[in-house]
Amino acid sequence: METYGKILLIAMPAFLVLILLEKWWGIRKGNDTIRTMDMVSSLTSGITNSTKDVLGLSIAVLSYDWMVSHWAMFQIEATVLLYIIAFIALDLTGYLVHRIDHEFNFFWNAHIIHHSSEDFNLACALRQSISTFVRLFTIFLLPAALLGIPTQVIAVVAPLHLFAQFWYHTQHIDRMGWLEKIIVTPSHHRVHHAINPEYLDKNYGQIFIFWDKWFGTYQEELPHIKPVYGITRPVRTWNPIKINFMHLWLLIKDAWHAENIKDKLRIWFMPTGWRPADVAEKYPVFKIEDPYHFEKYETKAGPFFTAWVWIQLGLLLLFISYLFGNIATIGSPGMFYYGLFIFVFVYAFTELMDGNPNAWAWEILKFGIGIYFIIDTDGWFGLRKIIPIMPYIISAYLVLSLMLTFYFKKENNRYSIANQ
């Protein structure tokens, strides 16, 4: 937990710099693939996912450590070859879990966030799930456990395997020659994120592409079919917390409305997108039928609001960095209270980006939690002892943020009235 937090303290700035470099490169080449609001939505999604992981807010039904201690057929010392084997084992597991996430209704909820961006860039790689509280698929690491690959090897390789999936989320790298036959490249992954009928649900590989070629899920990027990105039932929001539970909420409502008991039960494990016929007729849900003619989600954002969005993002990163860097000192239950503040911050922030008229309510909640922490946790979880003036600066920020939320709400109302 603490170690992973410190790793993220290094990874987060690196990811942000690379994303900004991609935007600069796109502008320079006349092909900017990053919209500011979409990018911020992706970054806030990454922040919520990282917070959940660092706080350990999930459990494994069957842990790898238990499997290797009870079922290992060999005792193996850690070597370079062992790390390579562990990497390949994790990649096969990743392929299988990824495919299950795409092909079954219930499991799609855990993956919808990653595909929810209607752009394709490095930022959307950070759209990761917070909706999985119970991990079911550690069992796919059974071969590694039987071989006796130590838990500490998996613990080292897992974050490396995850971070290695970042780079290929870009439109600025074309085909990569012979590497296309071995590893997942940007071309392969553009296909995976596309909603074109020719590309849908293909290329599940995470590092190696040969899994897809062996198991029949491979599709190359076709020169005459430009990928269109997103999901066929667009989310129409920048709020990553809403997106994480959107599909689950639809399944719950569909199960409730279904007249047939069999439909109420089987909806969870039917192919992704399946709905009972009677429910689909009574409660239609918009679906993109023609991927070449639809408008991407966008919201009104003037220069002042855009500047405030960047400031909010910067401050959010500072807040989360303090948590990750001091998690051992903050301890339990303080770190979970801090995590709650981060989630409320993101919710209030992205609701304002959406122009939601109720964003002020979430901002008031954020303000209340923040002021309480300043008063009750020694000037923000001991920060007063390090920088005595910081509690006053945080208080001033919370007041300013609340005031600007009401200001932007008023501006949105004025804009809506003018366009009626």
- DSSP per-residue codes, 42-73: HHHHHHHHHHHHHHT--EESS-HHHHHHHH-S
pLDDT of residue 112: 97
pLDDT of residue 417: 43
Strand partners, 60: 135
Report pLDDT digits (tens) over 60-96.
778 899 999 999 988 888 889 999 999 999 999 999 9
Closest CA to 168 of 389, 18, 339: 18
pLDDT of residue 337: 97
Backbone angles phi, psi at 85, to 5 degrees: -60, -40
Higher pLDDT, 58 or 22: 22
Which residue ranges make up each domain of the chain? 60-215, 303-418
Per-residue pLDDT averaged across 388-400, rounded?
A: 97
Tokens describing residue 226: 């430009």
CA distance 49 to 60: 17
Helix orientation angle between 390-418 and 334-354, rounded to the nearest 10 degrees: 30
Answer whether residue 30 shows pLDDT above 70. Answer: yes
Answer whether residue 203 shows pLDDT above 60. Answer: yes
Who's near 396: CB < 8 A, 6+ residues apart? none
Higher pLDDT, 231 or 5: 231
pLDDT of residue 420: 40
CA distance 291 to 268: 26
Which residue has 């946790």 as its token pair? 377
Coil/strand/helix, residue 160: helix
Per-residue pLDDT averaged across 337-350, rounded?
A: 98
H or E segment to which residue 101 belongs: helix 80-103
pLDDT of residue 5: 77
pLDDT of residue 205: 98
Report pLDDT digits (tens) over 260-312.
999 999 999 999 999 999 999 999 999 999 999 989 999 989 999 999 999 99
Backbone angles phi, psi at 345, to 5 degrees: -55, -50
pLDDT mean across residues, the chain = 94
